[in-house]
Amino acid sequence: MRTWIAVILISIGLFAAAEASASPIAKDGTLDLRDVPLETSGPVALKGEWLFDWLAFRYPDQDPAPGQPMSIRTPATWGSQSSNIGDHGYGTYRLNLILSERDVGRALGLDLPSIASAFELYVNGVMRASTGMIGTSRSEMSPAAMPQPLYFHSDRQEVQLVLLVSNFVQRKGGVWAEIRLGTAEQIAQEREQRTLFQAFVTTGLLLMGLYHLGYFFVRPEPSTLYFGLSGLGLALRSLFVGDMLAVRLLPHFPWEIAVKIEYLSVFWGIAALLLYFHHLYEDYSHRKVAYGLALTMIAATLPILALPARAYTEWKLGYELLVLALALYIVYSLVHAAIRRKLGARLNLTVGLLFLATVLNDILYYNFLIDSGDLVTLGLLLFVFTQPFMVARKFAAAFREVERLKKAQEGMNERLEAIVEARTDELRKVNMQLKSSERSRSEWLSNVTHELGNPLTTIIGYLRRVKEGISGEAAERHIDIAYRKALSLNRLLNDLRQLSLPNSESYSIRREPVRIEQLCDTLGSSYDWKVPDRQVVLALLPGAAGRCVIDADLDRIGQVFANLVANALSHTSAGDRIEVVGRSFCSFGAYAVIVRDSGPGIRREERRRIFDRYYRVQGAASRHSSGTGLGLSISKSIIEAHGGRIGVLGEYGEGSAFYFLLPMKKVD
């Protein structure tokens, strides 16, 4: 879109130039404007062949020198025209104008550009304008550049223009820019428009330069710095070319310094522009080449600071070649970036190429190779004004990225919050588990203390009574009770010792072949059966004794047995029945022991869990509130270590029957 606007602007410029090219051309020192009334067809450029006396000041009343005058193309520097004319020297330009009848007596105007490097202009024999001081040697003359309008009127059709020019101070000499003629109004208006346009461009460049420099100080980024510097450079140049706004503001501005600024500002401005593009498209440019070119440009132009214009203006061609090298490198990196579709590179390339085309146009135009007109200001304007747009696009992209990251961050935060919440929940649960396990631990500890303390108190109580002197049957009963309590204490301590063993899950078992009779004897004696208030039936039957043996650790099996019987006793009350039956199933290879009681029994859902370590049936189902929850789990481990099985049968409310089976093998 913007590219098209550029194309349209350039085309308008070309049309304007084409219109100008239709204006008449001077021949042999005469410009015939009889058919060109200025009011309708003006203003016109006084270009074409003027008469010229080289190295001679011929005032209006003087005749040309012998062999002179010759024809000279205007506008053009005189040194570029013939090998007889050098850059430095002086001469006289003449042009006879033949006005249209309608322009006789009318207020007319001449638009005088800078004429290099000092001049006097005579109109119909009267000196009407001058700039600097002309002279026949460098010491005689003093240069100045001051574009100005000149208003006059003529009471006849013929107008004689005599222009005395001298130049000893720079390469460029003579009428190198267009002198324009029109009605006084046209000239005044044209100058005003031009001045305004140039002021507009200058201010634009200046503001852009300052804005980017300011931005650089807030957010240092090389591309902003270099764009700011190149903006300032080009603005400065714009003040010292064309209508010389700077000199119009400060009429006594030293000419030498003005030329230095004109040169340095553009060369350094372009070096900065190169670095700007380098940093804008860093991936598509070579740092060494970019900085090498920019520094070469700066180094090559440094002598300008110290030398007079007549020295360094001679090197203009060299400088122009350098500018060309820089411009080509810019185009190279832009093409490179545009191919890779880097942000804005294609637009930049298009505008850059258009700008180069206008530069090329002007070079050709001022060398009389084409007749199009001055377009470079338009190109510069277009080119430079697209850059803030590029920078803005870059920033906008950065902001978009920031927004995207912000959103992503927000999403991440939300996810993080969810994770934190889940983790906190888990922690809360673990904490609760810990608290509850801590509770059960202290509960368990108080149970163990109770289990240990209770029988101990009983034992102490009974033994004290015996010690105090009771005797006979009562003493025997007391000792008996104390003995049974001591046995149960011993069992409990066994359990606890088991628990404190490092690998307490698997019990160290010392197994040896045991005959069934021996097993029955051991089991029979592993509990004290004098339980007065229960009906205890003990039937440990060896079966076909002598034929089968069990690989067993008798102590351990005795421990299991005693534990089952003790449980049955503690879950029954006076008058309840406890049956202890042992049967040998030799043909099945198993010895079975069942301890059945008529106690409350165990709920179905509790049956599997009572064999877990520390598990104790809670509430009314359990008649005794204390206990360690260890007995059955230890029993299970012992039986399983023998390759046997342990379990519980019986309906809840009808008592329970704990059994264990031990593998047997036949012996002959």
The full 3-state SS of 303-335, as one line of letters, equals HHHHCCHHHHHHHHHHHHHHHHHHHHHHHHHHH
Query: What kind and span of H or E run contains 117?
Result: none
Query: 379-383 contacts: CB < 8 A, separation 24 or more?
Result: 379/10, 379/354, 379/355, 380/201, 380/234, 380/355, 381/201, 381/204, 382/6, 382/9, 382/10, 382/351, 382/354, 382/355, 383/351, 383/352, 383/354, 383/355
Q: How far is the CB of 660 from ligand ADP (least distance, A)?
A: 13
Nearer to ligand ADP, 341 or 604 (CB): 604
- CB nearer to ligand ADP: pick between 212 and 571: 571
Query: CB of residue 632 vs ligand ADP: minimum separation in angstroms?
Result: 3
Residue 45 amino acid letter: A
Could you tell me the smallest distance in angstroms from the CB atom of residue 449 to ligand ADP? Answer: 14
Q: How far apart are CA 122 and CA 325, in angstroms?
A: 44
Place of tokens 């301590």: 493
Shortest Å, Cβ 533 to ligand ADP? 17
H helix intervals, 370-529: 376-468, 472-500, 516-525
Question: Between the CA of residue 476 and those of 19, 331, 486, what are the distances in Å?
Answer: 146, 121, 15
Instruction: Return the number of the residue (230 or 567) whose C-beta is nearest ligand ADP.
Output: 567
Nearer CB in complex with ligand ADP: 526/656: 656
Q: For the CB of residue 645, give the shortest distance to ligand ADP in the complex, in Å.
A: 17
Helix, strand and coil in the chain, % to nearest 5: 55, 15, 30
Q: Could you count the other beta carbons within 10 Å of the beta carbon of residue 279?
A: 18
- Residue 643 CB, nearest approach to ligand ADP (Å): 21
> Which helix (H) or strand (E) covers residue 540, if one does?
strand 535-540
Q: Which is nearer to ligand ADP, 108 or 610 (CB)?
A: 610
Between 294 and 492, CB nearer to ligand ADP:
492
Q: Which positions touch ligand ADP (CB under 6 A)?
A: 567-568, 571, 597, 599-600, 602, 610, 616-617, 622, 627-633, 656
Least Å distance, CB 491 to ligand ADP, is 9
Q: Strand 148-152 and strand 108-112: pairing?
A: antiparallel
CA 115 from chain centre, in angstroms, equals 56
Q: Which is nearer to ligand ADP, 202 or 628 (CB)?
A: 628
DSSP 8-state secondary structure symbol assigned to residue 588: G
Choose between 44 and 593: whose C-beta lies nearer to ligand ADP. Answer: 593
Rg (CA), the chain: 60
Q: How far is the CB of 439 from ligand ADP (least distance, A)?
A: 17
C-beta nearest to ligand ADP: residue:
627
63 DSSP assignment: P
Query: With contact defined as beta carbons under 8 Å apart, do 630 and 499 qualify?
Result: yes
* Comparison of 100 and 628: residue with beta carbon closer to ligand ADP: 628
Shortest Å, Cβ 627 to ligand ADP: 2
**Least spacing, CB of residue 532 vs ligand ADP, in Å:** 19
> Is the Cβ of residue 235 or residue 648 nearer to ligand ADP in the bound state?
648
Please report, for residues 544, 590, 663, the alpha-carbon distance to residue 551 in angstroms, rounded to integers and kept in the order given. 17, 11, 8
